[in-house]
Amino acid sequence: MTLNPNQIAPRSRKVRVLATLGPASNTLEMITTLFQAGADAFRVNMSHGDQQSKIAVIQAIRSMEERFKRPTTILADLQGPKLRVGKFDGGRVTLEHGSTFVLDHDPAPGNASRVRLPHKEIFAAIEPGARLLLDDGKLVLRVTDHDADRIVTTVEVGGPLSDNKGLNVPDVVIPMAALTEKDRSDLAFAIDQGVDWIALSFVQRPEDLWEARKLIGGKAALLAKIEKPAAIERLEEIVEACDGVMVARGDLGVELPPQSVPPLQKRIVETARRMGRPVVVATQMLESMIQSPSPTRAEVSDVATAIYDGADAIMLSAESAAGQWPVESVAMMNAIGDAVERDPMHGDRIHFTVTRPDPTTADALAEAAKNIADTVSASAIICFTMSGSTARRIARERPSVPILVLTPSTDTARRLGLLWGTHNVNTRDVESFEEMVAKAKRIALRQGIAKAGDRVIVMAGVPFRTPGSTNVLHVVQIVGDELKDYRAPAAN
């Protein structure tokens, strides 16, 4: 099949690649190159730069989207609360092992015995025996006593400490909102700019998602970053309350022993898959490619593990945002995805997670579509959807064939860009069963998803234009006559 000059063939892999944009990659030219190299979605990190600088980046993504006629996902990642200690006299001190160190409200510059901690919520929540981690976990303090004005600790792991270093409190739930004033401003800005997903940091409990959900008002999907140990304790409730989750392994690895992170990653991925929420695995996936044109073998194995576990998306952070080899990093993610999914054992491994259908017609049909596709050697499952729920149900089953999603909603087409195995097309709605079948076959040909002689499975809801009404599964064969429709210049 010959594609037009601005059309890229559907990805051969089903796992999605999410690339963070930054100084190394925020121009239209670079965004286009990253897309061509394999990026399916783009992360805009609201922690760096001002809002004005993000406008041009978002507009560049939309410009690229228009050129290639491929709905493209934009995720705005909110910074969240940043816990930091105050300043020191001279800017730097050294904490000695076994010494006493106090955190208090005194604004005076700190020394080797004390420093200001400008977060009153921690004083209210902390308990004796709890750990305080400084500078990404390089220093460890153990709380021995506290009151409303002072937290007395013993230094268990000492070392140099400088102004405004970060603080992590892994052992208690801090009564602090997940949204700061900066986050609320950034969220409103991101919604105004038409982003598709909002990622929320510092999630400790499902209640942390409520304010963000209300502020979003249905104009974007909500992704919860699992980066706090407290979130693990209420994981299923958090997954139920959001539209997707991210395994934020960097922060998890600061607040937990490193050896605890791999099993937790598998647990989070399994829970999200079982509950039908897309799941992103993130942080340090190809970290060495910030400075090197090739990754370590261990990094490649790490990425492959996430793919074998059935993650919907794998994410690049500094590798694509600020590294020296952003295009090569995306191309490597793409290559790893292709290689893993060509492994004959890949299909068996991703089904180690049992995803039982809910007792609904739509879920039963989604499971049936997966099984029928294997039985009749179908080339694709094609679903018509308004809200995206049908596509999410099918993707949860992890079928062996691509999922072609046809939707009249541009928002839905874009939001589904983080969903495993989907190729999303924004098209006019259909009025009849016959039109549905004809359009499904025509677009499958046009998009390169199927060819003459192939069988495809079509799923939809009747009556049409009724969200959540999926009740039709139809197996059809594309015959030679449909090629005339493909060659015709008619719009989708």
Helix (H) or strand (E) holding 455: strand 455-461
Question: 359 is written with which tokens?
Answer: 């007792």
**Smallest Cα–Cα separation from 396: which of 222, 242, 277, 271?**
277
- Annotate 394-448 with DSSP letters as a single string: HHHT--SS-EEEEES-HHHHHHGGGSTTEEEEE----SSHHHHHHHHHHHHHHTT
Q: Which of 153, 283, 407, 470 is catalytic?
A: 283
Alpha carbon distances (Å) from 231 to 270, 418, 467: 15, 22, 32
- DSSP lists the bridge partners of residue 378 as none
* Other Cβ atoms within 10 Å of 250 Cβ, number: 14
- The answer to whether 247 and 273 are in contact (CB under 8 A) is no
Per annotation, catalytic residue among 69, 82, 84, 213:
84
283 catalytically annotated: yes
225 in active site = yes
> Position of tokens 């979003």?
216
Contact 369, 474 (CB under 8 A): no
* Dist. CA 397–CA 409, nearest whole Å: 23
Which residues in 87-181 belong to E strands, given as ranges? 92-95, 100-104, 114-116, 131-134, 139-146, 150-157, 159-162, 167-168
Catalytic residue among 11, 16, 43, 54: 43
Q: Which of 133, 154, 158 is nearest to 145 (CA)?
A: 154
Instruction: Round to whole Å and give the CA distance between 206 and 198.
Output: 16
CB 20 within 8 A of CB 43: yes
CB within 8 Å of 359: residues ≥ 6 apart: none
State how far the Cα of 32 lies from the Cα of 6, in Å rounded to an integer: 11
Residue spans of alpha helices (H) in 43-200: 51-68, 120-125, 181-192
- 408 cis-preceded (ω within 30 degrees of 0): no
Any idea what DSSP says for residue 88? B
Q: How far apart are CA 29 and CA 155, in angstroms?
A: 50
The size of the chain, in residues, is: 492
Task: Quickly tell me which residue has 């139809």 as its tokens.
Answer: 474
Strand positions, DSSP E, 299-412:
313-316, 380-384, 403-407
**Catalytic pick among 14, 70, 114, 225:** 225
At 375 the three-state DSSP class reads helix
Q: What is the largest CA-CA distance in the chain?
A: 82
Q: Which residues are identified as catalytic?
A: 43, 84, 225, 283
